[in-house]
Amino acid sequence: MEPVIWTEKYRPKTLDEIVGHEDIKSNLLHLIESNNLPHLVLYGEKNTGKRSTVLVLARMLYGDMWENNLAIFNASDFFDQGKKYLVSDPRFTRIIGTDDPKKIRKSVISVFKDVINEYAGMASIDADFRMVFLDSAEALSPDAQHALRRIMEKYSATCRFILSTTHLPRLIPPLRSRGLNLFFDRASSDAVASQVRRIAEAENVSIADDGVQAIAYHAQGDLACAITTLQIASMKHSRIDANTIYEIDLEHTPKEAEQLLHAAMAGDFKAARKQIDNLLMGESGADITEQLRRVTEDKGFDSKLAARLAIHLAEIDINLIHGSNERVQLETWASRVCAIMEN
């Protein structure tokens, strides 16, 4: 059955289908042709094409055998969910020897090292090396990163590691220096609009020009968001225009971020901290900052207040990019908003 989720249905299968990133595509093509592919460190905001690029790369290198030569792991699953995640993934059953998280005797980092060692040491099928893709690498603890560095060195002849992260400074310098660093930026509005039109035509979706532009504006360079918005709109309306997208945007206003803003503006720092805790259970600091930006813009504050709120959010955003602690930065923002409202 073909995928019903359009982000998967239209995930790129070749380099030419990847939107933007021309320099990265050119470099990867050159490395593949020269049979000199190094370890890679892909960094940039979420939904900028890092995972899609890895899957395309695997198809180019291994053809029909790409799934046998590519192992994919998510570091945040290991270190945020811990032992509950380990028993949920059948790949780890033999290593941990149980399906009960309470019976796992090893630490999560020990299991992580065992898993990566095993997959890195496996022989490739009809290829010079296999690949291990580690997504959300910023979730790795410093000890796990040092262990990973040693594993990368040990299997450098038979395995290529690809690390993906939204926060490059959180990776230790020795780990970053082990691979070629490639930056993935957001797609341009024109590129997003072009992709929306292409998919709308392929799916026989009637969409006005202002609807296309509204999706591009709403997505802010996030192709996955644009495609998902288009699919949701097509399920609810026979014809899509700007008003359609505006309604969908209102329906999906991040409620928890809105509650955080309200608590901070009410001067209730304790409630704001509790809301930050709730948000951080499922979102990154960068995601929460983006949600706060959207909520703040939608409130229609007077220009002076809106400018002060925007400046504080921008400061938090740049600090997060440089690897600052998410909780500390968000609590700093909340305290500043409380102070603004008191004065």
Q: Tell me if domain 6-184 and domain 189-251 are identical in fold.
A: no
Distance, CA of 343 to CA of 341 (rounded, Å): 6
* Count of beta carbons in the 10 Å neighbourhood of residue 261: 22
What is the DSSP secondary-structure string of 283-328?
A: S-HHHHHHHHHHHHHHTT--HHHHHHHHHHHHHHHHHHHTT--HHH
Vertex 81: Cα angle to 66 and 86 (nearest 5): 55
Nearest to 176 by CA among 46, 45, 24, 40: 40
pTM: 0.78
**What pLDDT is recorded for position 51?**
94
Q: Per-residue confidence of the chain (343 residues) as pLDDT tens digits?
A: 444 789 999 999 999 999 989 999 999 999 988 888 899 999 988 889 999 999 999 999 998 889 999 999 988 887 777 677 777 777 777 777 777 777 777 777 888 888 888 888 888 888 889 999 999 998 888 899 999 999 999 998 889 999 999 888 889 999 999 899 999 999 999 999 999 999 999 999 999 999 999 999 888 888 998 999 999 899 888 899 988 888 777 656 667 888 888 888 888 888 988 888 888 876 778 778 888 887 887 777 888 888 888 888 888 888 887 767 788 888 898 898 888 887 6
Q: Is the four-CA dihedral 233, 284, 313, 256 of positive or negative sign?
A: positive
Q: Which residue has the tokens 């890195």?
A: 120
**Structure token pair of residue 122:** 């496996």
State the Cα–Cα distance between residues 266 and 272, nearest whole angstrom.
9
User: What was the pLDDT predicted at 253?
Assistant: 61
Locate the DSSP E strands across the chain.
40-44, 70-74, 130-135, 159-165, 180-184, 206-207, 239-240
Tokens of 192: 């997003």
pLDDT at 2: 47
Domain boundaries, the chain: 6-184, 189-251, 255-342
At 159 the three-state DSSP class reads strand
Query: Quick one: DSSP state of residue 101?
Result: G
Strand 40-44 with 180-184, pairing: parallel
Which fold would CATH assign to domain 255-342?
Answer: Zinc Finger, Delta Prime; domain 3 (1.20.272)
* Amino acid symbol at 322: H
Helix pair 285-298, 269-280: axis angle to 10 deg: 120
pLDDT for residue 118: 86
189-251: in CATH 1.10.10.10 = no
**Predicted local confidence at residue 252, as pLDDT:** 61
Architecture (CATH level 2) of domain 6-184:
3-Layer(aba) Sandwich (3.40)
